[in-house]
Every structure is written in structure tokens, then in C-alpha cells.
Structure 1
């Protein structure tokens, strides 16, 4: 829970007082993100970029619409695209591309998602407090799992993290792609998963012969078999997904 609220930066996480953590996170955003951008002359209007950071924090983990954000801020969609490139270049955001391969579906989403590298920094940029509604908590937990998948993928090598979504409905939060195989992963903020949460995983397994197993990452204390090829696992066991497919 603390990682979801305050992130994983060592200097922040070592601080005991939550209020002091927020002060340090705000200082990080102001001095590093905004000052570094100003110093490097990466953008002409730092005020606009600061507003962009707020929207980027709010939209972190969602499929991004450059045009929608541009209308909110009052700049061109190409400027918004360049701002996201700056976040990538500064290692502040991770871009996650969709899986677009399909022999049957014509409406797979092709736009990318962006994840802030640290959830504490994301929360401060988005100007959010520490009390989340259940649905928001689930969305941020999904981002946490996504970041952990990305980090483990880099450590493992020859591995990519994607997502899958059809405009008509079916979607899977994360896809591990390795050695021409797919491992679909759904994320749920629950400690009692059931088969109702496996519908889209079953759809994916049925449509992609490259996928043999699927997982629900949640808050169960130990693995739980939900279906023939679908297992719920604790979020602490994310790294085990990669050792299974070495």
C-alpha cells in the first residue's frame, strides 16, 4: 500500500513521517522535473509543461489521447506528443505499446499507454491526496503491477510488456511477450478472486495459440487455481512469472 501512495524512491521511502514524504516528493517534482526541463531548455513554456505534468499524472496508466489533453491545456496535440517524449527521454515515463497482432479482430487499440516511473511522483504531479476511492485504488494498483512487470522484463531480457484491448470490449491489462509466446495478466485489487474476473483472459487464451497460461495478480496470500489454465497469484510473486518462461 505504501508503494502505491509514496512510490519506491529510496530517499523518499526511508522517511518515516508521511507528511515529510509528501514534502520531499513535491520538492523532487519542482526541482528535478520542472527545473531540469527549464535548465535544458527542453520546452519553451514551463508553465504549460507544469500543467501537462498534472494531466499526465492523472492519465498515467490510461490509453493516451494527445488531442484530448491538448484541448484541456490549450496547446497542439503535436506539442503534447513532444512532452511525452521528454518524459520518456528523462526516464520519467514508460511507454507501453498495445499488442496489435490478430487474425480475427479489426478494432484492436493501437494507441500507447504511459506510466510514471514512480507512483509517488505520479500522485504529486496529479495533485492527488492519499485517500483513494476503491476504483482509483484498483487503477493505481494496476500501474504498480505494470511497473514491476516492466522492471522484471528488463532484468530478464528478450521480453516486452504490452497490453491488449479491443474497442468493442475485451481487454487484458498486461501481456508478457517472450520467445514468441504471450502470457496475459489481469490485475485485481482483491484478496478473493473468482472466475468472474477471468472472462477476458479466457477470450485471449482462446484467440491466441501462443498463450498457454494466464494469471490474475491480486492480494491473495498464495496461488489459487481459478480455471484450467488460469491462476491467481500474490503480487509479491510477480518475478516468478519470468522464471517460469526462461
Structure 2
């Protein structure tokens, strides 16, 4: 990819805050979301990248080498150094050494990773509480960098390298390279699946079905594998930070049957389109479907960054459904997404039903392409997609008005 101008990331302030508290940080994020670029703007004492094969093999042969090197740095500096260890999942055996150095207050670390799979396998995630703060860097949110037209988010996503590339044909080339290099080849090199051809076909279906409620058995029949294989494929994508899993709200005092199956969203809409082998010409109906995913991804990213909320959805197979529901402390905010620039009360009917059945829900939203907010009724507001970032902070203010 071409040289990329730096755009400030909102995660940098909470990251610096945790470092100033003396904490170490595990910074996870899909490839090319800007982890290394972000860390260039952090004051540190030493950086070790585990990407070069020679470096990786050296530590694989003797993980204890890291301890001696860090002790030498500490002795030379006369204080606890801040060490960046890039792509830690490539040598998960180093985590025992890192844990020991943290426990003995010899060093402070920022560990980066583009996959949680090996870290889970080696039980690293369970070592984190109290020792390491886990953070996540996603593609750009609207508040960091946004196209003027939402169609560009739908077609090209918001990976930093793609966003800062001007020519559409170059964006397309780079997205294709991402899918081929960072998805298919990474899965192949990690030997995560036995039959790569089946997995590549699954990846196309995952792109096409992104944002829909998943029927594992139907998808298995389409691809010609068992439904347990489909489940394992989704687990691989989730562990590699390629999909977001969204759980439904399943409890209701008024409805006997709510959907219990989850939704999976590919983490970036440009990557999704290339996985699905879709072009840039789309019907309004398809744009509306992907607009729903665009808003969903934005809510998920904002929830991680600002509110520690959960994003869910609400669906009665025989009745209403709400695209996205923000949940915190058992309180809900329903959010419906509509491909319209003239929001009316009819667009909010399922939000209204949800609010009637969940009396503690303080308000609801319709996110659309309106140029200005529209009050649809006392508790429901229609807002522009550009203003999605205001929803979660407003929700948190309602929960904790002080």
C-alpha cells in the first residue's frame, strides 16, 4: 500500500492512561487496523517485532532469551522499561516470560496481536486479569475519519490504508490483496483448516450472509460440509478477529418465542464485499441491507471504545425485530436502521413496540440518511448515520447522570 498519512486514533488516550497507571496492555486488532502506526506515537524504550522469521525462530528456540534482554535494558536504564512486543501470538510461549517480568515489576509491556486463537489455546487470555489490560483497535470509526457519502463506507470499509487511498481502483486492488494475503494465506499458513478450498468457499458465503441470522445447517448444506464444521469455521474467523458475533436478546415477559441464533458480521465492509465477490454496483435494497451492517459495526466499535456496552438484536420470528439493541446494566436502547432520508413514524414501529415491552428503556433511535435530527415521538429520535457516535455517550449519561 502507498504511504499513509496519520489520522489520530481515539484509543490513544485510554492506552496512554493505562500505561501511566503502570499497567501493561494487550492490544488486539485485525491486521492493517493501524496498531503499529498507533504505537509509533507512544513513548517507549524498546520494540521487538516477532514478524521477521529469524527473530521469531530465535525466541521459539529459547524463550528465556527475552528475560535476559529485558533485564539488561532495565539495568542500563535504572528503571522499569516500557517494551513493545509486536505480534505476540506468533510466539505465545513468550507469555510465560512476559508474565514473570510483569509480576516481578521488571518491565511494562504493550503486547500486540492480530489473532486471539493461539493466545486462547495457550491459556494466555486467562492470565490477563489484574496484570494486563486488554484493548482493541478497530478500523476507523466515523468520529475518527468518515467519507462524505455513506455508500463509500459500504463499498470500501474503513481500514486506514484503504480509507487514505484516493483512487477507487487502488482501493479495490488493496482490498483484493488484503483478502488474498491476510485472510486466505494466513489461514493456510497457520494450518487452521484441512481443506482450504472448502474454507475459501465458506468465506464467500460468510461475506454474502454477513449481518443475517445464521442457520448453520442450511449453510452447511450449501457448502457441502457438516454443520459442526461451519461452527468451527466461524470460531476461526472470530478468533482471528475477522467477524463480530452478535447475540440476540432471548428473554421476554411478553413473547414466548424469540430468535436464539446469533448474527455474524465481517469486521469491515470493504473486506466483506471482496470476500463475497460482489462488485460496486448495488441495488437500493442491497445498499439498505449493508447500511444496517455499517451502523451495527459502528455501534460495536463505539461500545468497545466508550461504553463497555453489549450490542445485541431483538427478533421474533413471527413478529417485530429491531436491528440493534445497546445493553448495559440490563437497560436497553433499541436502534432501527432505515435506508431513507425522510424518516417517518412508520420507520420506527418496531422500536416503538420494543419500548412498550421494555418500559425501563429510556429512548430509541432510527438511524437513517436524514440531514438533521427528527423527533418521531416522545422517546424516539431519527438521526443521521454520521451522528451514531452520540448514542452510547447519551445512554451512559442517562444511566449515570452524575
Asked if residue 93 in structure 1 is aligned to residue 243 in structure 2, the reply is: yes
Please identify, of 63-72 and 16-25, the stretch whose mean Cα deviation from structure 2 is larger: 16-25
How many residue pairs were aligned? 246
Q: What CA deviation, in whole Å up to 9, does each residue of 1:124-179 have, x standing for no partner?
A: 00010101111100000000000000001001233100000001120000000012
Match of 1:184, SS state, is: strand
Over 2 Å off, 4+ runs: none
Counterpart residue number, 1:184? 334
Pairwise mapping of residues 46-125 of structure 1 onto structure 2 (< 5 A)? 46-125=196-275
8 Å contact 1:205–1:211 — kept in the other structure? yes
Counterpart residue number, 1:217? 367
**Paired residue for 1:5, among 134, 147, 155?**
155
Q: What CA deviation, in whole Å up to 9, does each residue of 1:7-40 have, x standing for no partner?
A: 1011112222212211111111111101110111
**Paired residue for 2:380, among 225, 230, 235?**
230
Counterpart residue number, 2:352? 202
**Paired residue for 1:173, among 312, 323, 329?**
323
User: How high is the TM-score relative to the length of structure 2?
Assistant: 0.60
Q: What CA deviation, in whole Å up to 9, does each residue of 1:156-204 have, x standing for no partner?
A: 2331000000011200000000122100000011110101111111111
Question: Which structure is higher in RCO with an 8 Å CA cutoff and minimum separation 6?
Answer: 1
8 Å contact 1:108–1:164 — kept in the other structure? yes
Q: What CA deviation, in whole Å up to 9, does each residue of 1:191-230 have, x standing for no partner?
A: 1010111111111111112212110001111110011211
Counterpart residue number, 1:136? 286
**Paired residue for 2:303, among 146, 153, 167?**
153
Give, in whole Å, the separation in 2 of the partners of 1:103 and 1:139. Answer: 30
Point out where structure 1 has 5 or more consecutive residues left out of the alignment. Answer: none
Q: What CA deviation, in whole Å up to 9, does each residue of 1:53-89 have, x standing for no partner?
A: 0000000000011111111110000000000001100
8 Å contact 2:246–2:264 — kept in the other structure? yes
Counterpart residue number, 2:56? none
8 Å contact 1:158–1:179 — kept in the other structure? no
User: How high is the TM-score relative to the length of structure 1?
Assistant: 0.98
Pairwise mapping of residues 4-43 of structure 1 onto structure 2 (< 5 A)? 4-43=154-193
Please identify, of 163-172 and 151-160, the stretch whose mean Cα deviation from structure 2 is larger: 151-160
Point out where structure 2 has 5 or more consecutive residues left out of the alignment. Answer: 1-150, 397-402
Give, in whole Å, the separation in 1 of the partners of 2:202 and 2:323. Answer: 25
Match of 2:362, SS state, is: coil
Match of 1:162, SS state, is: strand
8 Å contact 1:98–1:111 — kept in the other structure? yes
Counterpart residue number, 2:63? none
Q: What CA deviation, in whole Å up to 9, does each residue of 1:102-121 have, x standing for no partner?
A: 01211100000000100000
Give the drift of 1:245. Answer: 2.1
8 Å contact 2:307–2:392 — kept in the other structure? no
